[in-house]
Chain A
Amino acid sequence: MEDCKMTSKHKTWLLTGAVAIAGMAAGSLPALAAEAPQWCKDIANGIYCAEPEATPPDFCGTKEIRVALADGFADNPWRQMTTAAAINEASRCPNVTGWTHTDGQGNTQKAISDVQGLAAQGVEAIVVFPDAGPAMLPALRDAFKQGSAVVPYRVKVGGKEGEDYSVFVGTKFYDHGVAWAKWMAEALGGKGTVGYEGGPAGNSESVEKSQGMHDVLKDYPDIQWIGQDPFEVTNWDPSMMAKSITALIAKYPKIDGMFGDLSIPILTSGAFQRAGRDLPLIAGEDANGFGCEWEKLHADGKESSFQFMTTSAEQWNVRLAIQWAIAEATGGKVDQPLIIKDTKGGEHVAANPGDKLVTNFVMDDSLKGIVFCTPELPASAGNGTSLTTEQTLAALKGGL
């Protein structure tokens, strides 16, 4: 019969074993208050890394994966802020071990080979901004069939979810148009002339927004649509916008309101000012410069006809795409609402749990006194992306 009392040798073994078990348990827990993931710290000294959370969000899952963002084109402020937001979102998951960002440089062939390259490397979660539209579908399909989670976002590619790619994450441009037109109709008191400065001929974003506007404005017979229908073609280029506005000024004695995708040039290109005309009301997408111009025009009690309203430019759309891509790759769940913080500390619900389409929200409304102007940020920065001012500034300096 053995003595069952614990000897000191047994105690030592027990203690060692307990320490070992505790050590292993601690080691396998995600780094808590500690560190951002190394891949994130390698990008611009880790400025975009999210604050580590006590429990990683459900969309992360647990499987270790790499994430990639494949852009058809990356050289404009919207894309730069979007990339920063994507890095920020992906860094919330400690199980993400690698990050790649590819830039198709506006070349469809390159964009396709970028996606093919990522699939060949076995990157498990690929988010794609398919600028080339349906031309990207075969590459997406191949990557999906090779086992990657593929999430195209914002530009439709055709095809079917679950067969050609995992999930399509989008936005409802129609709703932007509706929001703009509703504000404009009210601000104008139901009467006046309005025009819309859109993008390249036939682009779906401007077409859908225009539909939204028309559906609202048809209830306001005293509001006259001037200029081209569905929109003035400007390729989002400030000098073409200036020329288009000059033509409208020539034809119409008064322009009361303007809509614009890229709206700041309506103000800054000087077409109204050079013609000696009052500034119109403007509804468009948010940009820091807008609020700052408004503040300048209204500073020190100055009189100005200029009032404006903006909806979010959605440089955070990619966050939902990243969440879906990671969830699809790891078996995680997109079961939290997507909440976007603006630079005034406000919070906006941009997507409900499980949504694949984001919901837009209003940013500025100068008639209600809500104006965003962050003096440290350049004109094309966004104030509602959940990025901090430092992160936004770093993103716009490039190098992502």
Chain B
Amino acid sequence: MRTLRNSLRSSGGILIATLLLFLLSWLVQPESLGQGAMSGMIPFAAILAIVALGQTLVIQQGGIDLSVPGVVSLSGVIVAYYSSSQPGFQGTALGLAIAIAFAAALAAGVINGLLVSKARVAPIVATIGTNALLYGVNLRISGGTPVQVPASLSEFVDYKIFGVTTLAYLAVIVTVIVSFIIKRTVFGRRFEAVGANARAARAAGVVAVNYQMAAYVGACLLYCLGGIFLAGLMSLPSAFQGDTYLIPSIAAVVLGGTSLFGGAGNLAATVIAAVFLTQLQQLVLTTGASVGVQFLFQGGAIIVGVGVYSLRLNRLTGLLRKLGAQGPTPRIAGGPTA
């Protein structure tokens, strides 16, 4: 619980921004907060949150993962094609199909991890390559033809507990588990140490490569989970369903305050940022704005968000103090210089 509280405290910025966004929604377009709109928005926010959590792990290691679309799309395709509900296609039980999807994601994560940590390929290059590989496998299986997932998966995804979809609860559970592992276990501490400074961690006796691998593998497993949920949500997912998740996943991580250069990551903030981005998109859509305006808003939000975090906060508060002070800033003995 302390972990969650600490995380929420340091998520102050994005939490305030999200609350402001909901306030704005209520003022400008109250219907976007109605039951109908929320029931449509929350599942997507939950899926983006899970995918963005994976991206956070990779970015914490100073990397970036462009194989998100490949894993998300392939997971959905595997579950749809390998489960037995689809007429004309022979399949197996849903559970086995899901296991195959996770196995494929595991393989993708291992490939990413090996390329980045052992072969020292730049993450952006390695993960682009893996993404292409994943789409190759995808098209081999699907040929681009969408196929329906079993009704049981769709029903599970749409099931509501106290009026809220299961996906929301699952996203929270996944966030708590991943946060616990990263923030409260020895493994997690070392993970963040490697992300902050791999050389120093190595000097302290930590095998950095293992933790870098773990980031990419963990990420792909999370993308797979997101992809399976997305396939269940869509019921008839396209073979390219994951394409729209790459940029938002990175945006959520950045807006959540995790530095693109690696180090400590704020998982709870990423999840809040995922909600922020999804609600922003839904709000703009509800106003009836054209596609061009939608892109302007989303891009603008990301630029502002990144800009706020990039400004050195010392400089900002110093500047504000200089503007507001009547005389020279009083020096506090022994305190930090402005």
Q: Are A and B part of the same complex?
A: yes
Known: A239-B244, A397-B143. A251 touches B148 (CB 8 A): no
Cβ of A277: which chain B residues have Cβ within 8 Å of it? 36
Contact at B146–A77, with CB atoms within 8 Å?
A: yes
Map CB proximity to A onto B35-51 as digits: 1 under 8 Å, 0 otherwise: 11101110110000000
- Determine if B286 and A75 form an interchain contact, defined as CB atoms under 8 angstroms apart: no
* Segment 226-282 of A: residues with Cβ below 8 Å from B: 227-228, 233, 237-240, 242-247, 249-251, 264-265, 268-271, 273-277
Select one of A75, A243, A398 contacting B282, CB under 8 A: A243
B288 touches A275 (CB 8 A): no
Interchain CB contact under 8 A, A247 and B148: no
Which of B180-188, B233-241, B303-311, B313-321 contacts the other chain?
Answer: B233-241
Contact of A242 among B37, B40, B288 (CB under 8 A): B40
B87: Cβ under 8 A from any A Cβ: yes
| Cβ-defined contact, A247 with B238, below 8 A | no
Known: A77-B146, A239-B244, A244-B285. A228 touches B31 (CB 8 A): no
Question: Interface residues of A toward B: which range?
Answer: 35 or more
With A237-B238, A249-B36 in contact, do A376 and B143 touch (Cβ < 8 Å)? Answer: no
Contacts of A249 in B (CB 8 A): 36-37, 40
CA distance A64 to B154 in the complex (A): 53
With contacts A251-B288, A264-B236, A378-B86 taken as known, whether A237 is within 8 angstroms of B37 at the C-beta atoms is no
Q: Is the CB of B89 within 8 A of A269?
A: no
Q: Are B158 and A246 in contact (CB under 8 A)?
A: no
Partner of A273, one of B87, B158, B285: B158
Per-residue A-contact encoding for B115-141, CB less than 8 Å = 1, 0 else? 000000000000000000000000110
Does any Cβ of A come within 8 Å of B337's Cβ? no
A377 to B89, CA, bound (A): 9
Which B residues are CB-close (under 8 A) to A77? 144-146
B contacts with A: majority SS: helix
- Residue A216 lies at the interface, judged by CB distance under 8 Å to chain B: no
Given known A-B contacts A273-B158, A274-B43, A378-B88, A268 and B291 have beta carbons under 8 A apart: no
Report yes or no: A247 in contact with B37, Cβ–Cβ below 8 A. yes
User: A75 to B145, alpha carbons, bound, how many Å?
Assistant: 7
Residue of A nearest to B89 (CB): A378
Q: Give CA–CA (A274, B37) in the complex, Å.
A: 9
Q: Nearest residue in B to A392 (C-beta to C-beta)?
A: B88
Asked if residues A250 and B34 are in contact (CB atoms below 8 Å), the reply is: yes
Task: Offer 24 A-B interface pairs, CB within 8 angstroms, sorted by A.
Answer: A79-B144, A80-B145, A228-B290, A228-B291, A233-B291, A237-B238, A237-B244, A238-B146, A239-B44, A239-B234, A240-B244, A246-B40, A246-B282, A247-B282, A249-B37, A251-B29, A268-B148, A275-B40, A289-B236, A376-B87, A378-B88, A379-B146, A380-B145, A398-B143
Interface residues of B (CB under 8 A from A): 29, 31-32, 34-37, 39-41, 43-44, 86-89, 139-140, 142-148, 154, 158, 165, 230, 233-241, 243-244, 281-282, 285-286, 288, 290-291
Q: Which residues of A contact B (CB under 8 A)?
A: 74-77, 79-80, 201, 227-228, 233, 237-240, 242-247, 249-251, 264-265, 268-271, 273-277, 289, 375-380, 393, 396-399
Per CB-CB distance, the 4 closest pairs between chain A and chain B, nearest first, are: A246-B40, A75-B144, A398-B143, A275-B36
